[in-house]
Chain A
Amino acid sequence: MSANHDTADTHDKDDAHADGHGHASLRGYLTGFILSVILTAIPFWLVMTGAIENKQAAAIVVMIFAVVQIVVHMVYFLHMNSSSEGGWSLLAMMFTIILVVIVLTGSLWVMYHLDTNMMPGRHDMSEMP
């Protein structure tokens, strides 16, 4: 661990501006890789064997694994932390996450209701006010 710190320190001295990539270490990459393999294998196993009977519950579990794995990739492979690039990359990512959440939930929510209410034969126009 101390060796990793040494390389990070010398690198910072080389280029004071280029922070945020001094955290790369063999240990970090291997940790990220092992975690990713586990977090990939479990959801595949769950779906391929049908271990969880309830499909909705299985879908939620699979989604949770995906979110955790995305965080693992962000931290160990993309070296994301609050201090890289003076916090600006984290800020940009937060903004993007907010936009992504709005786009995804907004589209799914609106289009789901539109779909349900536009189903042919579901509505009798004479009952409309």
Chain B
Amino acid sequence: MSAVAATAAEKAVPTFYVKDEHDHAEGSSTMLGFWIYLMSDCLIFAILFAVYGVLGTNYAAGPAPKDLFDLSLVAVNTTMLLLSSITYGFAMLTMEKNRVAATQAWLAVTGLFGLAFLSIELYEFVHMIHEGATPQRSGFLSAFFTLVGTHGLHVTFGIVWLVTLMMQVGQRGLIAANRRRLMCLSMFWHFLDVVWIGVFTFVYLMGMLR
């Protein structure tokens, strides 16, 4: 409506954009932006799943899923990630109640479950490589290590992020910016759990069925 009040000189030059930008609260679009990042990450995993789907049966006379996978170990691993998801949920609930110490404690528990998941996964990798099932062995193993390794790398960075946020919360408390960061990590962490559902179903369970 400022155009109506504008002087004649200004009227001569038409403007084709909104001059008065309305206010956005700081970080108001962060959640949507982060969600879109997660969707792009989802596409990366979709491509890796497609690669595994195409190469997953090319054993090159090497070991097959049945010779390598230990489902009870994968079940323990899945439990660790699921537990870390619920403890992160508890961290978010205590955060909404403004209880700093409890939030920090739940975040620490989440980090420990994440570390347990990573340790079990690395143990599995080392065990496989020790048996000669290296990424170079066959198309199946290349695709397996790429897909599961990328997920593990995401969890690793998630833990780094978690520790960083714990330090920030320790220094500044649960200020608005830290709450926003914690909510972003919450989405990231739960998203990794969703990807893991795909991994244990598509790679481990269906691999054992072949």
Contacts and interface: CB of A to CB of B under 8 A. Distances in A.
Partners in one complex: yes
Interface in A71-100: 73-74, 77-78, 85, 88-89, 92-93, 95-96, 99-100
Interface string B184-210: 000100110110011011100110111
Main secondary structure of the interface of A (DSSP, over half): helix
Chain B interface size, as a band, is 35 or more
B39 A21 contact: no
B178 to A, nearest CB: 14
Given A21-B183, A36-B82, A92-B36, A100 B205 contact: no
B25 interface: yes
Contacts of A96: 39, 42-43
Given A88-B32, A108-B53, A26 B93 contact: yes
A78 B201 contact: no
Interface in A18-74: 18, 20-21, 24-26, 29-30, 32-33, 36-37, 40, 43-44, 47-48, 55, 58-59, 62-63, 65-66, 69-70, 73-74
Nearest to A47: B205
Given A15-B25, A92-B39, A66 B198 contact: yes
Main secondary structure of the interface of B (DSSP, over half): helix
A99 B85 CA distance: 27
B96 A73 contact: no
Interface residues of A, number: 48
A20 B51 CA distance: 34
Interface stretch (B2-10, B71-79, B156-164): B71-79
Contact of B197 (A11, A24, A66): A66
Contacts of A15: 25, 28
Q: Which of B25, B75, B205, B208 has the most CB of A within 10 A?
A: B205
15 contacts: A15-B25, A18-B31, A33-B85, A40-B82, A62-B206, A65-B201, A66-B198, A78-B194, A88-B32, A93-B35, A99-B46, A103-B46, A104-B49, A107-B50, A108-B54
**8 shortest interchain CB distances as A-B pairs:** A17-B28, A29-B89, A66-B201, A107-B50, A77-B190, A100-B46, A96-B39, A111-B54
